[in-house]
Amino acid sequence: MTDNPTPKKTKKPSLTEKRRAARSFALQALYQWQMSGNSVTDIELQFRIDNDMSGADIPLFSELLHGVPAHAGDLDASFEPFLDRALTDLDPIELAVLRIGSFELAHRIVVPYKVVINESVELAKTFGATESHRYVNGILDKLAARVRMTEINAKRESKSPDQECFLDEFELIRQYFSDLGQDSSGCVELGVGDDCAIVSPPPGQQLVFQLILW
């Protein structure tokens, strides 16, 4: 008698992964809009039919796909001063990435500017030319300094001289240990990126921790 193997459970994508997938689909759809001039409504319908989007944040995909064309003129004008070439000379992928990034900086204020830039850089790495991500990073960094000045200044003012690189998520982990009555000093160090930390729990404590950002 042969035992039936236990079917493997499919891991559900995290919110961060779903939003990243939404941005990826939005970039491809906006590229098609730029090249064809077709209606974004028709393009969205086509994408929803032709692609398995179960692992994507559909509302975000729709917001980007409709929001970027609706504000394209203003978005282009916002980052054009930082270009080293004419807008018409931009690679179509770079243009689409910059439009998505500038849209999120201007219209999705709840998303931290560093996350917006990082996600745009990842899009450029995946779909753009070899050095596109560096170019996109530089342009959006300059744009963020203008349109997210209040957020940037607030972060600078909240940093202490000894821990000026610690971000809010590190404070959340410190608070976790504090709530347990544990000394949290020295248990959190600087990690890489806005959504991770290097954690050394106090003696006798174990920590399983996942931060869901944007």
**Are 110 and 150 in the same domain?**
yes
Element (H, E) at 189: strand 188-189
**Between residues 127 and 10, which one has the greater pLDDT?**
127
Print the domain residue range for 186.
159-199
**Are 195 and 99 in the same domain?**
no
Q: Can you tell me the distance from the alpha carbon of 101 to that of 121, in angstroms, rounded to the nearest whole number?
A: 9
Please indicate, yes or no, if residue 214 is contained in any of the structural domains.
no
In the predicted structure, residue 89 carries a pLDDT above the cut 70: yes
Q: Mean per-residue pLDDT for 102-109? A: 97
pLDDT at position 5 is 59
Burial 122-154 (b: 16+ CB within 10 A, else e): bbbeebbeeebbebbbebbeebbeebbeeeeee
pLDDT per position as a tens digit, 155-166: 787 765 444 444
Q: How open is the CA angle 113-67-93, to the nearest 5 degrees?
A: 70
**Are 85 and 141 in the same domain?**
yes
* Overall number of domains in the chain: 2
pLDDT at position 164 is 42
In the predicted structure, residue 204 carries a pLDDT above the cut 90: no
Of residues 59, 73, 69, the one with CA closest to residue 23: 59
Name the pLDDT band for 188 (thresholds 50, 70, 90).
Answer: very low
**Are 46 and 128 in the same domain?**
yes
**Are 54 and 23 in the same domain?**
yes
Please indicate, yes or no, if residue 208 is contained in any of the structural domains.
no
In this structure, what DSSP letter does residue 7 have? P
